[in-house]
Amino acid sequence: MDITLNVNGRPEQFSAPPNELLVERLRDGLGLTGTKVGCDTGQCGSCVVRLDGRSVKSCLVLTASAAGAGITTIEGVTTRGGELSGLQEALRQEHGTQCGFCTPGMVMALGELVDATAGGPAPTEPEIREWLTGNLCRCTGYHSVVRGVQRACAAGRDEVPAGTTATTASASEV
C-alpha cells in the first residue's frame, strides 16, 4: 500500500504492508528509534507518539490506518543535542527519568496533557497520575515524573509547583 505520513513536519511516502504497525514504520522504516517497544500488548506506553496532536500507542496503530496523518515522535520535540522543551526541562530538573526507556513515551503522552491544560487551571496531582496510567515506569515510581509535570505546568502560570519536595508534600497528609 502506498502511504503518505507527515512525520515531524516532513512528508514521508512509502509502501507498507497492510499489517504493518506504526511503531515498526517509525523505528525500522524511518529509523526514528526514539520511540520504544516495551510490550506486545499496548500496556506499557513506551511507544506513545502524537497522531494529529493526540497521544496514541503506536504499537496499536496500523500504519495504513494512519495514512495522511501528522505524526510527532520524540525526535520531533527537539533537535539532536538541542535545547529541551519546557516539559523535558522540568522533567530534567526533577530527575524524572532513570533508565530512560519509558521516557520518550512519557514525554509524548504528557506533552498532550500540558498542551491540553494550557491556558486553564494546572492539572491536579490526581489528574496527572490518572493521565499517566497508560505509561509504565519501573524505575522512578512516577513521583519525579509527576513533580516534573507539576513544575512544567507551573512554569507557564507563575505558580509554585505543588509537591515538588516529596517530604513536605505527603508529611502533611499523614
x/- string (CB under 6 A) for ligand FES, residues 77-106?
Answer: --------------------xxxxxxx---
Contacts of 7-13 with C-beta under 8 Å, sequence gap 24+, read 7/32, 7/71, 7/72, 7/73, 7/76, 8/32, 8/71, 8/72, 8/73, 8/75, 8/76, 9/76
How many angstroms separate the first and last alpha carbons of the chain?
A: 59
Q: Which is nearer to another protein, 48 or 68 (CB)?
A: 48
Kindly state the DSSP code that residue 62 receives in the 8-state scheme.
B
Q: Report if residue 33 touches ligand FES, rule: CB under 6 A.
A: no
Per DSSP, the three-state class of 3 is strand
| Smallest distance from another protein to CB 159, Å | 17
| Smallest distance from ligand FES to CB 130, Å | 17
Interacting positions 78-97 with another protein (CB under 8 A): 78, 80-82, 84, 88, 91-93, 95-97
Stretch that binds another protein, among 1-9, 64-72, 112-120, 161-169 (CB under 8 A): 161-169
Q: Report if residue 47 touches ligand FES, rule: CB under 6 A.
A: yes
| Biggest distance spanned by C-alpha atoms of the chain | 59
Q: Report if residue 132 touches another protein, rule: CB under 8 A.
A: yes
88 binds, among another protein, ligand FES, none (CB under 5 to 8 A by kind): another protein
Contact status, residue 15 vs residue 1, Cβ threshold 8 Å = yes
